[in-house]
Chain A
Amino acid sequence: MDAKDILGLPKTPLPLTQEKKPRPQKDSQRKPDGISREVYALTGGVPPLMPSVDSSQLKKRPPTDEKITWQWLPFTSSARKDSLQLYHWVRVVNGVPPTGDYSFAKYNKSVDVVKYTDEEYEKFLTDPMWTKEETDQLFDLCERYDLRFIVIADRFPSSRTVEDLKDRYYSVSRALLVARAPSPGDVSGNLLVKEPYNVSQERERKRALSMVLSQTKQQERKDAEVLAEAKKITESRMVARSAEEPELPVASNSGLENVEKAIMPADTISPSSNAHLPSATVVPSTLMADNASTLASLRLLRVYLRTYALDQMIQAASSSAGLRTIKRVEQTLQDLGINLKPRVPTKAVCAEHLELRKEILTLLNLQKQLQYKEAEGSSFRDSTYETPGTPKDRMFIPDSMSFGVSGERVGKRDQKRKAPGRLTEAPSSPAQSKRPRKLKASDL
């Protein structure tokens, strides 16, 4: 079709004139209105079952009763103080040029900078660090540059820091405001009065920011390590014997000021907690440490919910277990018909629940141990010269002790048995499971 067009009628692909000129012989093939034939061909040349876009939405043409011309006309802007006349292209409708101000004039906003008389200056605004001349210059610049202090600092004749300029400006404004107000109460709500500009704080803040910004990657890593260390230390401070504990490593990079501030409250808590905690809590094993530190941190709270305490204890008990193990514990609980969160969490119930969870953890560990042992056994049988492969190779052995918890099979990770747990069923005979099963297709 295209070849014919090229050779025949040299029509344009754009439909600017298509609607106006009737083309009966093309109609059967050109279905769409408002999109070009080539574009239509992209969709397969067949009309869609439902119109995806309403064709009247496409290519809105200006209403034909309006006559549009463009004219080069002069204009003035209310944003200008002089009456400069400039020229620009204007869209004229039916010979009527548009009225109204220059459309961008509304963006000409400026800041209200206070103005003081000489008298007021003498009375309220004198300062040993600033001459009147400098102050006047400052205010003039503030007005001209709309309180853009970076620019003002640059333009200021004598070199002053941005913070100095800001300080002077805000204190003058505040003093004027207070002086001019009929009573102090009136202006106490004004932000200038309520939250005065704090030069030293600003200086510190900017210094800290620039330090953080200019940190090298090396320093960032070190900081992260120190933070993690600090966190661990605050946690271990919950346990007794904080007197002998090492001092918090003071951050070598000052960007950690916030961290130090956060650690300080922890410092104040731990001395008081020591008075309460029993003296002899030197903890030998990690499990005891977990328990003791959890208990200690709970005591510090002074008031807490039993369910919260249980959660903390559970977390402490499973701190050494991976996510998969925790899921298996929960699965086991469900199979045993126990609520993951006790319905009536009394002290006794919570204690029992916790013990049950710990016992299940022991159970799962023993299961794993048994698997390893059985795997080792089969390797001995097969060949005494072969070194045992990695445990992962041996996970074809079915988990014979499961309550319905899936054994570790390669490929199938979180398979949950839908059938009710086999709690009372005797496990399959151990002798059978000693031989490694050949991996069947059904296992995958």
Chain B
Amino acid sequence: MILNKMLKDVEISVPIVYGNVSFWLGKKASEYQSHKWTVYVRGATNEDLGVVVKRAVFQLHSSFNNPTRVVEAPPFEVSEAGWGEFEIAITLFFHSDVSDKPLNLFHHLKLYPEDESGPMSTKKPVVVEVYDEISFPEPSEGFVARVQNNPVVTFPRLPVGFTLPPLVPVEDASRKRRGDTKDHPLSQWFLNFSEADELLQLAAARQQVQAHIAKLRRQISVIEGQHQQSKSISDQ
């Protein structure tokens, strides 16, 4: 049963992280292949993105063979060897009940460490990751049903009285290939993204700004009062 109705008041967010990990090849490096790198898109908590994303297309630099790499199943990543840094366009195509429009991400491949003075190591890679969230403001019922208990998405607090459509069991729960990246070979380098710190910072900043605003308002009213006084004096 395909549930086609679009749910207006439910917004589904899929937190993702995309970026690259790059290892210097050290002694094995050649002129054209000095680094081994992997560019990828993963769920922010390493859950399986395949529930949402049908396929990912990575557009590499034209100097690579077959620069358009299509990845049909998670983990959505491309590994290559090279020497240059360039912008990679990643296009995410979603399942038909999720969205018929693809989404574009852009990532600048980073191979060389920020701090150029330190020695390059073959053991410690250069890692650049970006956190973002894919937002589906009006998901279809089918999509909602499919993912309602799946940790790869986040639901907002549902309004009171809202009933979710019944959970549709996912077919082929036992997939041959693992879609999640929890035990991915590169997972030890993945960065952690916690909103808590940022929220605290923002809250503190807002408090300061609000305090200053209040102070300014008081000062302005004081001055306005004084103006009134001097005006009434001069009018006499």
Q: Which A residues are within 8 Å of any B CB, using their own CB? A: 276, 298-299, 301-307, 309, 333, 336-339, 342-349, 352-353, 355-356, 359-360, 362-363, 366-367, 369-370, 373-374, 376-377, 380-381, 384, 401, 403, 423, 427, 430
The distance from the CB of A199 to the nearest CB of chain B, in whole angstroms, is 37
Q: Is the CB of A359 within 8 A of B210?
A: yes
Q: Is the CB of A337 within 8 A of B195?
A: no
Determine the chain A residues whose CB is within 8 A of the CB of B195 once the complex forms.
344, 346, 348-349
Q: Is the CB of B138 within 8 A of A423?
A: no
In the complex with contacts A363-B212, A370-B223, A306-B133 CB distance below 8 A: yes
Q: Is the CB of B227 within 8 A of A430?
A: no
13 contacts between A and B (CB under 8 A): A303-B103, A305-B105, A305-B134, A305-B135, A336-B205, A342-B198, A347-B13, A356-B206, A370-B216, A370-B219, A370-B223, A380-B227, A380-B230
Q: Is the CB of A306 within 8 A of B132?
A: yes
Determine the chain A residues whose CB is within 8 A of the CB of B136 once the complex forms.
302-303
The distance from the CB of B1 to the nearest CB of chain A, in whole angstroms, is 22
Q: Is the CB of B223 within 8 A of A377?
A: yes
Q: Is the CB of A349 within 8 A of B199?
A: yes
Q: With A346-B133, A349-B195, A363-B212 given, name 20 new contacts (CB 8 A).
A: A303-B94, A304-B135, A305-B132, A309-B135, A349-B198, A352-B203, A355-B206, A356-B202, A360-B209, A363-B213, A366-B213, A366-B217, A370-B216, A370-B223, A373-B220, A377-B226, A377-B227, A384-B234, A403-B212, A427-B215
Q: Which B residues are within 8 Å of any A CB, using their own CB? A: 6, 8, 13, 15, 94, 98-99, 101, 103, 105, 131-138, 156, 193-195, 197-199, 201-203, 205-206, 208-210, 212-213, 215-217, 219-220, 222-224, 226-227, 230-231, 234
A343 to B195, CA, bound (A): 8
A362 to B195, CA, bound (A): 26
Q: In this complex, what residue of A is CB-closest to B156? A: A347
Determine the chain A residues whose CB is within 8 A of the CB of B103 once the complex forms.
303-305
Determine the chain A residues whose CB is within 8 A of the CB of B226 once the complex forms.
377
A309 to B133, CA, bound (A): 10
Determine the chain A residues whose CB is within 8 A of the CB of B135 once the complex forms.
298, 303-306, 309
A192 to B33, CA, bound (A): 46
Q: Is the CB of B198 within 8 A of A344?
A: yes
Determine the chain A residues whose CB is within 8 A of the CB of B201 once the complex forms.
337-338
The DSSP consensus for interface residues of chain A is helix
The distance from the CB of B200 to the nearest CB of chain A, in whole angstroms, is 10
A96 to B216, CA, bound (A): 97
The distance from the CB of B172 to the nearest CB of chain A, in whole angstroms, is 25
Q: Is the CB of B205 within 8 A of A337?
A: yes
A370 to B213, CA, bound (A): 11
A376 to B231, CA, bound (A): 11
A353 to B133, CA, bound (A): 15
Q: In this complex, what residue of A is CB-closest to B205? A: A336
The distance from the CB of A92 to the nearest CB of chain B, in whole angstroms, is 51
Determine the chain B residues whose CB is within 8 A of the CB of A298 once the complex forms.
135, 137
A430 to B223, CA, bound (A): 10
Q: In this complex, what residue of B is CB-closest to A335? A: B205
Determine the chain A residues whose CB is within 8 A of the CB of B206 once the complex forms.
352, 355-356, 359
In the complex with contacts A348-B195, A380-B227, A302-B138 CB distance below 8 A: yes
The distance from the CB of A16 to the nearest CB of chain B, in whole angstroms, is 52
In the complex with contacts A373-B220, A423-B208, A349-B202 CB distance below 8 A: yes
Q: Is the CB of A366 within 8 A of B220?
A: yes
Q: Is the CB of B137 within 8 A of A299?
A: yes
The distance from the CB of A414 to the nearest CB of chain B, in whole angstroms, is 22
The distance from the CB of B139 to the nearest CB of chain A, in whole angstroms, is 9
Q: In this complex, what residue of A is CB-closest to B102? A: A303
Q: In this complex, what residue of B is CB-closest to A332? A: B209
Q: Is the CB of B230 within 8 A of A381?
A: yes
| Partner pick for A359 among B105, B199, B213, B217, CB 8 A cutoff | B213
Q: Is the CB of A362 within 8 A of B198?
A: no
Determine the chain B residues whose CB is within 8 A of the CB of A343 once the complex forms.
131, 193, 198
Q: Is the CB of A344 within 8 A of B131?
A: yes
The distance from the CB of A404 to the nearest CB of chain B, in whole angstroms, is 13
Determine the chain A residues whose CB is within 8 A of the CB of B203 once the complex forms.
352
Q: In this complex, what residue of A is CB-closest to B196? A: A344
Determine the chain B residues whose CB is within 8 A of the CB of A423 once the complex forms.
208
The distance from the CB of A269 to the nearest CB of chain B, in whole angstroms, is 12
The distance from the CB of B226 to the nearest CB of chain A, in whole angstroms, is 6
A344 to B191, CA, bound (A): 11
A430 to B105, CA, bound (A): 50
Q: Is the CB of B216 within 8 A of A366?
A: yes
Determine the chain B residues whose CB is within 8 A of the CB of A360 once the complex forms.
209
A305 to B101, CA, bound (A): 13
In the complex with contacts A344-B198, A362-B213, A369-B220 CB distance below 8 A: yes
Determine the chain A residues whose CB is within 8 A of the CB of B231 once the complex forms.
380
A380 to B232, CA, bound (A): 11
Q: In this complex, what residue of B is CB-closest to A354? A: B202
Determine the chain B residues whose CB is within 8 A of the CB of A339 once the complex forms.
198
